[in-house]
Amino acid sequence: MAKGIAVIGDGESIKGFGAVGLETFVCNVPEEAPQLLKTVTEGDSYAVIYMTEELFALTEKERERFAERAFPAVIPLPGVKGNTGAGMRRLSGFVEKAVGSDILFKN
Amino acid sequence: MDIMNVNPTRMQMTKLKRQLQTAKRGHKMLKDKRDELMRRFIELVQENKRLREKVEAELEICNAHFVNASAVMNKKSLDSAMMSSKQQTGIEIGTRNIMSVDVPVFTAVSGSSDKGDIYPYGFAFTSFELDDAVEALEQLLPDMIRLAEIEKSCELMSAEIERTRRRVNSLEHVMIPRYEATIKYISMKLEENDRSSRTRLMKVKDMLLEKAHHYSEHNY
């Protein structure tokens, strides 16, 4: 089954993704991000949803629903404002959860 | 270790012994599952880290290209250039089973095969900076999709590992010791009953002999 790829973020950060065929959802007001994510995931038509790190941090509650499911995958990416390291922190969180202590990123 | 609230009977002990055996077998299997999951997870998470570093670095370059493009073009023409995408990128989804965890498999399906088609605009009114940006992003796309696949897998597997670890620990440190303690308690209780009825019989025998023949086997 084919599904789409969505990108949610501020206009500046996600402008380019539209050009390469991803569906972009502009969200310039961070407070609207949870509602927007809900709308985007409603039809279950996207398998991957990229979000800027800034908005990703604000939508924890909405993302909980997908934590145990294979689809959709909600993935944080750095926006134009620069890399906050949130993506890597998330990864080290997985390692910590699985192993008990962070053995990959501690150096 | 606390023991279960059971009657100290032989039947109950047999039942508990059977349950203990099942618990031990389950514990061994879960431990194997946890170890294998962990091995796969570490492999995956290392690739995830490498890929994320790469994607984040390249995205930064793409963003720099876009900033350059928006510096030399006016906003309106830039926006209109980006507005209509010629191709629609979708992904074919499937799942793969790793040690009972269903992880996603993504395969990108691109709408067009023509290499020139990645630019959604004519070249007349746009800067070459924009071409660089779009091209870099296009090349990054497969890695981004792979990143999504791996990162989701890591998320699902870490949750499963945690669950399995909890089960293993609860079996190892709570269930199995409790069974063992209860079985020991029952067997001691049974032996104690055995001894007490034996001494009672000896005592009764003595009393009967004393009564009949004024004779005692023991001198006490």
Determine the Cα–Cα distance for residues B9 and B7; give it in Å rounded to an integer.
6
Of A63, A48, A65, the closest CA to residue B146 belongs to A48
Determine the Cα–Cα distance for residues A4 and A26; give it in Å rounded to an integer.
16
How high is the pLDDT of residue A9?
85
Which one of A2, A80, A91 has the shortest CB-CB distance to B52? A91
Asked if pLDDT for residue B182 goes beyond 90, the answer is yes
Asked if pLDDT for residue B143 goes beyond 60, the answer is yes
**Interface contact A42, partner B, CB < 8 A:** no
Q: How far is CA B172 from CA A11, A29, B16, B38, B165, in A?
A: 53, 51, 16, 18, 10
Contact state of A16 with B134 under an 8 Å Cβ cutoff = yes
Asked if pLDDT for residue B206 goes beyond 70, the answer is yes
Burial (CB count within 10 angstroms: exposed 0-12, middle 13-18, buried 19+), residue B148: buried
Of B23, B44, B4, the closest CA to residue B168 belongs to B23
Which one of B103, B106, B134 has the shortest CB-CB distance to A19? B134
Q: Which range, of A42-51, B55-64, B106-115, B116-125, averages the lowest pLDDT?
A: B116-125
Instruction: Provide the domain limits for residue A66.
Output: 4-82
Q: Are β-strands A2-9 and B90-98 bridged in parallel, bridged antiparallel, or unpaired? A: antiparallel
The residue type found at B137 is L
Domains of chain B: 12-182 (1.10.287.3240)
Asked if pLDDT for residue B220 goes beyond 60, the answer is no
The residue type found at B93 is I
Asked if pLDDT for residue B121 goes beyond 80, the answer is no
Q: How confident is the model at residue B2 (pLDDT cuts 50, 70, 90)?
A: confident
Q: How confident is the model at residue A106 (pLDDT cuts 50, 70, 90)?
A: low
Instruction: Give yes or no for a contact between A48 and A72, defined as CB atoms under 8 angstroms apart.
Output: yes
The residue type found at B49 is K
Asked if pLDDT for residue B170 goes beyond 90, the answer is yes
What's the average model confidence in pLDDT over B126-151? Answer: 82
Determine the Cα–Cα distance for residues A71 and A69; give it in Å rounded to an integer.
5
Q: Which two tokens stand for residue B1?
A: 């270790």
Contact state of A97 with B49 under an 8 Å Cβ cutoff = no
Instruction: Give tens-digit pLDDT for A6-40.
Output: 888 887 777 778 777 788 888 888 888 888 888 88
**Does A92 map to a domain?**
no
The pTM score is 0.82
Query: Hunting for tokens 């796969």 — which residue is that?
Result: B40
Of B30, B14, B65, the closest CA to residue B179 belongs to B14
**Interface contact B41, partner A, CB < 8 A:** yes
**Interface contact A58, partner B, CB < 8 A:** no
**Does A52 map to a domain?**
yes
Contact state of B56 with A5 under an 8 Å Cβ cutoff = no
**Does A45 map to a domain?**
yes
Find which of B78, B85, B100, B166 to mutate to test the A interface (most A CBs within 10 Å of its CB). Answer: B85
Q: How many domains does chain A fold into?
A: 1
How high is the pLDDT of residue A14?
79
CATH of the domain at A14: 3.40.50.10580
How high is the pLDDT of residue B80?
67
Which one of A22, A73, A82 has the shortest CB-CB distance to B151? A73
**Does A90 map to a domain?**
no
User: What average pLDDT is seen over chain B?
Assistant: 84
Contact state of A20 with B141 under an 8 Å Cβ cutoff = yes
**Interface contact B168, partner A, CB < 8 A:** no
Find which of B75, B79, B91 to mutate to test the A interface (most A CBs within 10 Å of its CB). Answer: B91
How high is the pLDDT of residue B201?
95
**Does A21 map to a domain?**
yes
**Does A78 map to a domain?**
yes
Residue B55: count other Cβ atoms within 10 Å of its Cβ: 20
In chain B, at which residue ranges do the beta strands (DSSP E only) sit?
A: 90-98, 101-109
**Interface contact A101, partner B, CB < 8 A:** no
Instruction: Give tens-digit pLDDT for A48-60.
Output: 888 888 888 888 8
**Does A106 map to a domain?**
no
**Does A93 map to a domain?**
no
What's the average model confidence in pLDDT over B93-99? Answer: 85
